[in-house]
Amino acid sequence: MWFKNLQIYRLSKPFDLSPEELHEKLQQEEARECDSLEMSTMGWVQPLGRNAELFTHAVGSCIMMCARRDERILPAAVVREHLVEKVAAIEEAEARKVRRREREEIKDEILTDLMPRSFTKSSTTYAYVDTKGGWLVVDAASAKRAEELITLLRETIGTLPLKPLEVAQSPAYVMTSWLKGVDPAADFLVQDECELRDTVEEGGIIRCRRQDLEGEEIRVHLDAGKQVVRLAVEWHERLSLVLTEEMSIKRLKFMDVIQEEAAEAETDDEAARFDVDFSLMTLELGRFIPRLVETFGGLAEEE
């Protein structure tokens, strides 16, 4: 249940739905399997698993939800193989060339024919609303994946005014200054991984792992004008993560001190275990996110 990636959004208005009210709305858009002619579907499932009753799980001011996406697996190579065979058969039988528009029509017919026989796969995306802090936090590696959940949530509850986290100072500029010798805040510690990129379009990219980022090799690239667009950092000896220039968080890990706190709550009950982990995670992120924003100069002023 511990989130591994963070896409962070700032709520423009207070989130007024209670956990019970949100449950009622999510339940009406419950996830379902694809029909025979549907490529994908997306809906809500219970965060605690299929045996749970509620479509939300609340701890304090935070409300967890979970979206499930079902999609058909129809490999492009399979479609292409069928298309080549059918086009060849038509050209041979009718002694003519199959043009582009007709090829597209044939391809659509093949898709319609193959879809009912294809397999489906499911994937879930977790998110929670921090009603007190004013955040929506999505456990997604990409903004596109997070936007799918946000779109579904908007369709489900009617409105959701928010925007991606934007800070006053350029993240790339601040992270670059850290590697150039400007010490980060005392609670942030630079680790041994980064990505450097030229500021010009189509410029070079350097990716480093297990590298001394204070060494001469990195300094040469910085002096040449490259900027840091990803940087591994540790926060307060409690979180380790990779921070990007878009202010998204990759490879988030809750360090030993937090895991030890979780282990102290001995329970064999799955729901109680989820509750403890969710409580500890949101408590930690409730401290971390405002501190991260502060470190990068606060929230960007709205135009």
Q: Note whether 188 and 52 are same-domain residues.
A: no
Tokens representing 111?
């898709």
Enumerate residues 6+ apart whose C-beta is below 8 A from 14. 131, 134
Residue 159 falls within a domain, yes or no?
A: yes
Residue 300 falls within a domain, yes or no?
A: no
Residue 265 falls within a domain, yes or no?
A: yes
Q: Note whether 130 and 110 are same-domain residues.
A: no
Q: Note whether 199 and 61 are same-domain residues.
A: no
CA distances from 69 to 142, 175, 218, 289 (A): 15, 35, 42, 28
Give the DSSP H or E segment for 103: helix 100-114
Residue 64 falls within a domain, yes or no?
A: yes
Residue 301 falls within a domain, yes or no?
A: no
Q: Count of alpha carbons within 13 Å of 191, Cβ hemisphere only?
A: 19
Residue numbers of the domain that contains 83: 76-116
CB 27 within 8 A of CB 179: no
Q: Note whether 212 and 239 are same-domain residues.
A: yes
Q: How many domains does the chain have?
A: 3
Q: Note whether 158 and 14 are same-domain residues.
A: yes
For residue 153, give the 3-state DSSP assignment.
helix
Q: Note whether 210 and 287 are same-domain residues.
A: yes
Specify the pLDDT at position 302: 67
Enumerate residues 6+ apart whose C-beta is below 8 A from 11. 129, 134, 135, 136, 161, 162
Q: Note whether 189 and 274 are same-domain residues.
A: yes
Phi/psi of residue 140, nearest 5 degrees: -145, 140
Q: Note whether 144 and 181 are same-domain residues.
A: no
In whole angstroms, give the CA distance from residue 42 to residue 154: 13
pTM for this entry? 0.89
Q: Note whether 282 and 140 are same-domain residues.
A: no
Q: Note whether 30 and 160 are same-domain residues.
A: yes
Q: Strand pairing of 62-73 and 40-45?
A: antiparallel
* Furthest-apart CA atoms within the chain: distance in Å: 77
Query: pLDDT 10s digit of each residue in the chain, 303 long?
Result: 799 999 999 999 999 999 999 999 999 999 999 888 888 999 999 999 888 999 999 999 999 999 999 999 888 898 899 999 989 998 889 889 999 999 999 998 888 888 888 888 999 999 999 999 999 999 999 999 999 999 999 999 999 999 999 999 999 999 999 999 888 888 999 999 999 999 877 778 999 998 888 888 899 999 999 999 999 999 999 999 999 999 999 999 999 999 998 888 877 788 888 999 999 999 999 999 999 999 999 999 865
Q: Note whether 100 and 129 are same-domain residues.
A: no
Residue 303 falls within a domain, yes or no?
A: no
Q: Note whether 102 and 246 are same-domain residues.
A: no
In whole angstroms, give the CA distance from residue 167 to residue 156: 29
Specify the pLDDT at position 216: 87
Residue 1 falls within a domain, yes or no?
A: no
For residue 104, give the 3-state DSSP assignment.
helix
Which amino acid, residue 108?
A: D
Residue 2 falls within a domain, yes or no?
A: no
